[in-house]
């Protein structure tokens, strides 16, 4: 028996179950892996009818609450587009903040230790690269909030991906861009009214990208604050983090076009 649920926002998608199961054409499963003795658990999704031979892969880096249904939904949506998607785990198997009030401390551990953050990102990328049928030359990474910061770290460290997409992520850098490394294309999708990313941080990011000669883009969404893709953030912009349906839909479409570009579809 299959348990399915349809959620409707700007898009409709299947909610991925926790156990390996063919969900229509979508196959999903949890994958346990280890980084430096720490057990981690990510979520894989792909369309068994569309995966024929070498297929592009997309890595998903979660927001500060850890791997949740949000990332699993996005993985399933990417699978429906024909990609092999893997939502990694930075924190550890079963390790999640109990409440949003604790999430800052969890995310802060890795934002304060970018070497450890990069190590966990690399571990997740390795899992995706090891999946059958993943085209090693056509892999990208996307991330939300904390995860948006994460994918920019992947670009700075020269991860072997064709492109990265940051959704309302932090833009600050504490480690320099790795010299002579591979430079993926960069797309930043940003709320124009995001109070958590000050103008000085944006200015510093632009200077960093230009100095390192990245191929980068940044799109602003008017009236959008932090977390504009997450319905759980509510709709009160005065809190600094709120969902905005228009920005959610537009940013997803911008990501789709970007992936078509970097994968040369």
pLDDT digits (tens, 9 = 90+) for 175-220: 999 999 999 999 999 999 999 999 999 999 999 999 999 999 999 9
Place of tokens 């792909």: 46
pLDDT tens digits, one per residue of 118-164? 999 999 999 999 999 999 999 999 999 999 999 999 999 999 999 99
17 token code pair? 């179950």
Average pLDDT, the chain: 91
Q: What residue spans of 40-180 are helical by DSSP H?
A: 69-80, 100-111, 114-129, 146-156
Task: Describe the crossing of helices 114-129 and 146-156 by its angle, rounded to 10 degrees.
Answer: 80
CA distance 69 to 105: 21
Range list of β-strands (E), the chain: 6-8, 12-14, 21-23, 26-35, 38-47, 55-61, 84-87, 134-144, 163-167, 185-191, 216-221
Q: What is the pTM of this model?
A: 0.90
Could you give the C-alpha distances from 248 to 190, 222, 229, in angstroms and in order? 11, 12, 5
């Amino acid at each position: 028996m299959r348990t399915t649920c349809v959620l409707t926002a700007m898009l409709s998608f299947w909610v991925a179950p926790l156990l390996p199961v063919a969900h229509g054409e979508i196959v999903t499963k949890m994958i346990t892996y280890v980084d430096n003795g720490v057990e981690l658990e990510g979520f894989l999704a792909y369309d068994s009818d569309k995966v024929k031979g070498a297929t592009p892969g997309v890595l998903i880096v979660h927001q500060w609450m850890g791997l949740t249904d949000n990332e699993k939904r996005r993985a399933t949506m990417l699978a429906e587009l024909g990609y092999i998607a893997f939502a990694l785990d930075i924190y550890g198997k079963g390790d999640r903040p109990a409440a949003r009030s604790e999430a800052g401390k969890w995310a802060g551990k890795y934002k304060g230790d970018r070497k450890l953050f990069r190590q966990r990102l690399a571990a997740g990328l390795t899992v995706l690269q090891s999946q059958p049928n993943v085209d090693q030359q056509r892999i990208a990474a996307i991330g939300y909030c904390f995860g948006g910061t994460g994918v920019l770290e992947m670009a700075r460290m020269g991860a072997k991906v064709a492109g990265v997409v940051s959704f309302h992520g932090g833009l600050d850098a504490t480690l320099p861009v790795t010299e002579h490394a591979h430079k993926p294309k960069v797309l930043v999708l940003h709320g124009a009214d995001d109070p958590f990313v000050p103008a000085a941080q944006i200015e510093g990011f632009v200077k960093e990208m230009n100095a390192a000669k990245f191929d980068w883009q940044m799109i602003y969404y008017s009236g959008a604050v932090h977390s504009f893709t997450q319905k759980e953030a509510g709709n009160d912009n005065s809190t600094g983090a709120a969902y905005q349906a228009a920005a959610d839909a537009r940013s997803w479409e911008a990501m789709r076009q970007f992936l078509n570009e970097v994968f040369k579809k």
